[in-house]
Structure 1
Amino acid sequence: MTVSFEKFLEKLQVPHSGKPLSVLRNPDLEPIPHANRVWGFWSFFAYWGLPNFSAAAISIGSALLSLGLNVKQSIGAIVVSNIVIALYTAMNSNPGFKYHIGYTLDQRMLFGIYGSSVGIIFRIGLSVVLYGYLSWMGGLCLNLVFSSWSKNYMNMKNTFPESVPMTTRDCVAFLIFQLIQMPLSFIHPRKINRAGVMFSFMTLFSIIGLLAYFVSKNGGPGPIYYQGVELTSSQRSWMWMLAMTIWYSGISPVMANQSDYSRYASNKVGMHSGIALGILFAGTFAPVAGMFCASASQGLYGEPLWLPTDMVLKFLEDGYTAKARCAAFFIGISFTGAQIVVNMTQNGYACGMDLAGIFPKYINIVRGTLFVQLISWVVQPWTFFNTSSAFLNSMTSFGIFTTPIMAINVVDYYVVRKTRIAVSDLFTMDPNGAFWFYHGFNLRAIFALTVGVALGLPGLVFSINTKLPVNAGMNNFFNGYTFFSVIVSGVLYYILTLIFPYKQRLGAVDTKDYFNAFSLEECEALGMEPYTPALEGEYIELEIGNVSSRKANAEGDVEQGKSEGSKSELEIREEIKE
């Protein structure tokens, strides 16, 4: 490699303000310092309330009712599913809260220093797809704002041919929505919490307004509410299971990378109570309100309106009055803001964090977020809403990939490691490190993940290609993978750890706070030496003897008259950083 090319690569490195930078480490990957952990009850309520208050969540009833369930049974499935989601989320929050590490380092803990790419790539793929999906939905919400300003915009002539599955108006709003999001890449994820709290209350009031308007104008909940059920007892049970999976699946990627945001928590009680309220209240109220609005709109217009964007455009078309325009503007701003915060926190920033884990020297959160913003249009999100694309049938598949990861994470953290982690081992490729496993890969976890994912794939194929003969057992596993994948992957992983027990530093914790991440109280509880400036450049190699062995070799070289022997310990450490 030429000197000029080395200098070019050095210029491409992420800004790191003198902090260590290596193939495993950059400032965005390090544990969050105590002073930066500022998320409390309302931040976590907003983080979980916003996706449940979003336009997509309100319309989930259309999918549940299409299974043959009625409104009451759909509500029951949502309530039970929310309880499961809250429990899964709480358990996945604690590694991030206690050790202040994100999803990326979680994956090193589970799958190994190199094997972590498996879980990270899963999450990157989902982030790109969902970022495009939510951006298109955000454009539809932004349409309400523009339509409240101009009737000509609302009635804009479509210049696209019929073969193109979108209108000119929707395309314009989508492009503008994408441009609005881009500057937010330069805002640190922890600082977007206040906007999240504001928009969570704005969308809550908007949903209450829509519910009151449609039910009041119709004089009751409408015909859908009174529909019966024609399923047999067995069919109803499996449809309940599938309904829970559909609701769970859309939120499962957020649950899997919960550590990305639980590491910002200022206190455990506030975090868990905010999560519980955001999931149990918002996650129940919004979809229930959506079903009542759709039922009332069917009574009013002869067809159900599931998306709040369709509801608002409908009453604008009925009467383009000052009152209607004012309501459309407020509702449009509320849902547009909600889509921005949800998309950035759960897909944009999340993808930036994941890419930083794969290319730490050259990608940080800002660069990774810009990447997903630029590439998300490739998934053509307009087809998700306007065509009968097979993707619509596979929306319930997201959890197939993330649920086994969550199950392995819970078993590994609570049962195998008993909540004890040596954080600095997550930044070393030394074979004696706790997370090196077999050449950097934890084959136990990878095998358990593969089995859990593989068992769900046949059901996914059946849902996409309805012409194939269905295997009842595989199809039922897919319908209920919310529970079955947890059991399969979690139990299998634990059995493998019993058969092939870990030998490297199991249960070890750091004796020093190398990252200035822990408060004095936390250091005392963990038996850890508090951070001092003298520890700034120190790596785990100092703990496990790697630097010591390097130094001993260097001293031996001095005796032999080699130039290496003139190197100081500081120089040796600098070599390791590189």
Structure 2
Amino acid sequence: MTTESSGVIEDARPAGPASSPTTAGTEQLPDGVSPALYNGDLAPTKREGRRWHSYNIFTLWANDVHSLGNYAFAIGLFALGLGGWQILVALGLGGVFLFLLLNLSGFMGEKTGVPFPVMSRISFGIRGAQVPALVRGAVAIAWFGIQTYLASVVLRIMIVALIPSSASWDTNNVLGLSTLGWISFVTLWIVQVIIVSYGMEMIRKYEAFAGPIILITMVALAVWMLSEADWTIAWSTPDTVSGGEMWAKIIGGASLWVAIYGTFVLNFCDFTRNAKSKGSIVRGNFFGIPLNMLLFGGIVIVLAGAQFRVDGRIIESPSDIVETVPNTLLLVLACLALLILTVAVNMMANFVAPIYALCNLFPKKLNFRRSALVSAVIGLVILPWNLYNTPAVITYFLGGLGALLGPLFGIVMADYWITRRQKINVPALFTESPDGEYFYQNGVNLRAVAAFVPTAGAALLMAFVPAFGVVAEYSWFIGAGLGAVVYLLVADRHRQFNDVSGEAIAVVSTH
């Protein structure tokens, strides 16, 4: 089979005896695996040669935690009446929860070496796994387009700062974007397609490059803003709450913080399938989640508190501050850093998931590079700026799909950790034999479906019915908990579970 590494096509045939080629005639498959379930990107990765160390896991979070969307969320807590120390507590609690959940999810990838769509075959069956994979992929593709659009807004600011006359290109409207808007969006779209076309190894290198830049830039921006406020900040606003209401908002904020990562905890194995060890995951998560989130919280407090001290205004995003930077060179450098950040976040959170989902859907036709191009094209043709500017789409379509992620997480985790106790027959994940361990009934585990349908319905009710607004902040936890409990009630505990390594059909990790 062929895989992409540094732009050079290399031979990476899976270990084990070769049998029949795929329809493309370019891959030799190990005995017993089905071409409808297996290709070089879905195959388990060999343990030897895995390249994701603690630093690589850490830089995932160094980028993602400091995303513009996260800053907007955390600054929103300031606007809702939480002061500085309350925001730190909310983010700290959320960080501890995420650290635990991400380790559970990450260990699954490290053990099996497979991406999320293949992992889903364990609990949902070799065909039923398409449901969780496509739900996760659909959410990601939409947000890929939206995040690219938000980054293009920053690029437009930078272009106008460098070429003031280009402001005249920003006055017309073509399908919802100006000429300058189209230039900015397509430029960033092409950059991301080029990076991801070189595979997960290039994503790993880009994340490692971007992480330190983002941390240095955000700290520098906070120091500059602090100097503008005469080295003092407002730790609270006149609307700051206290007592029981304060603690309710703190816990609610922590829960929402976890919900933001509800997508990522589901498919974290897409990255940890290339991790050197469980220790690498734990160390990377520890420095990247709880500790990094406290740093993030400190920056949020300084940015929001300093701006409030200056003019009594609560900003919505760091980009609001960047626009006010008086020095053109510094403004351009800040914009570049925000662009590097947004591209890094987009690739890890919104590009990888649909790539593997499409590989899983059409393994005979699509590899990582082709799936990346298909995902990117979809992210373009949906005109994501129009989605972003349509609250009903964000609320009902993306919000509805997002609500389903909690029950899916609960079912997958309960099946792996409690029902099976980590006993996974990895080669059986790639066979269509009716005797296969994950064939269930025509490839679908009806018990998982029976657990998912009612819990998904409950999650949607909590997301959209006003009467459930009091628990809306905790909907991800409630959905995940319900999914786990209902699945454990209906799961078949009398099956024999086998623990079989996937090394015999594994490929050398080029990721």
- TM-score category (smaller protein): 0.7 to 0.9
Q: Which deviates more from structure 2 when the two are superposed, residues 187-196 or residues 221-230?
A: 221-230
SS at match of 1:53: coil
Q: Is the 8 A contact 1:77 1:243 kept in 2?
A: yes
SS at match of 2:404: helix
- Following superposition of structure 1 onto structure 2, how do residues 235-246 of structure 1 map, counting pairs within 5 Å? 235-246=245-256
Matched with 1:443 is: 446
Aligned counterparts of 1:373 and 1:12: Cα–Cα separation in 2: 26
Tell me the number of residue pairs that the alignment of Structure 1 and Structure 2 aligns: 487
Residues 1:78 and 2:70 are matched in the alignment: no
Matched with 1:158 is: 170
Residues 1:490 and 2:480 are matched in the alignment: no
Aligned counterparts of 1:443 and 1:65: Cα–Cα separation in 2: 45
Q: Calculate the aligned-residue CA RMSD, in Å.
A: 2.9
Q: Is the 8 A contact 2:196 2:203 kept in 1?
A: no
Q: Is the 8 A contact 1:100 1:517 kept in 2?
A: no
Compute the displacement of 1:81 (Å): 0.9
Residue in structure 1 matching 2:137, options 124, 131, 142: 124
Aligned counterparts of 1:200 and 1:156: Cα–Cα separation in 2: 35
Matched with 2:316 is: 306
Q: Which deviates more from structure 2 when the two are superposed, residues 343-352 or residues 237-246?
A: 237-246
Give the structure-1-normalised TM-score. 0.77
Q: Is the 8 A contact 2:82 2:236 kept in 1?
A: no
Compute the displacement of 1:106 (Å): 0.8
SS at match of 2:349: helix
Matched with 1:408 is: 411
Compute the displacement of 1:297 (Å): 2.2
Matched with 1:212 is: 223
**Cα distance, 1:401–1:239 mapped onto 2, change above 3 Å:** same
Q: Is the 8 A contact 1:207 1:289 kept in 2?
A: yes
**Cα distance, 1:395–1:115 mapped onto 2, change above 3 Å:** closer
Compute the displacement of 1:294 (Å): 2.7
Aligned counterparts of 2:196 and 2:381: Cα–Cα separation in 1: 19
Give the residue type in structure 2 aligned to 1:185: V
* Larger RCO, structures 1/2 (Cα 8 Å, 6+ apart): 2
Matched with 1:69 is: 82
Matched with 1:203 is: 214
Q: Is the 8 A contact 1:196 1:338 kept in 2?
A: no
SS at match of 2:448: helix
Q: Is the 8 A contact 2:29 2:35 kept in 1?
A: no
Give the residue type in structure 2 aligned to 1:515: I
Matched with 1:105 is: 118
Give the structure-2-normalised TM-score. 0.86
Residue in structure 1 matching 2:270, options 251, 255, 260: 260
Matched with 1:325 is: 328
Measured against aligned partners, the alpha-carbon deviations of 1:164-199 in whole angstroms (never above 9, x if no partner) come to 865554443122111211222321113321221221
Residues 1:229 and 2:240 are matched in the alignment: yes
Q: Is the 8 A contact 2:82 2:240 kept in 1?
A: yes
Measured against aligned partners, the alpha-carbon deviations of 1:47-97 in whole angstroms (never above 9, x if no partner) come to 122111222222222432454434432332221111111111100111210
Q: Is the 8 A contact 2:120 2:129 kept in 1?
A: yes
Residue in structure 1 matching 2:186, options 157, 167, 175: 175
Compute the displacement of 1:488 (Å): 1.2
Q: Is the 8 A contact 1:408 1:490 kept in 2?
A: yes
Q: Is the 8 A contact 2:64 2:344 kept in 1?
A: no
Measured against aligned partners, the alpha-carbon deviations of 1:27-64 in whole angstroms (never above 9, x if no partner) come to 11100123441010110001122111222222222432
Give the residue type in structure 1 aligned to 2:289: I
Aligned counterparts of 2:382 and 2:250: Cα–Cα separation in 1: 31
Give the residue type in structure 2 aligned to 1:200: G
Aligned counterparts of 1:349 and 1:82: Cα–Cα separation in 2: 23
**Cα distance, 1:460–1:195 mapped onto 2, change above 3 Å:** same
Give the residue type in structure 2 aligned to 1:229: T
Give the residue type in structure 2 aligned to 1:476: V
Q: Is the 8 A contact 2:134 2:354 kept in 1?
A: no
SS at match of 1:37: coil
Q: Is the 8 A contact 2:75 2:300 kept in 1?
A: no
**Cα distance, 1:15–1:335 mapped onto 2, change above 3 Å:** farther
Matched with 2:5 is: none
Give structure 2 stretches of 5+ with no counterpart.
Answer: 1-20
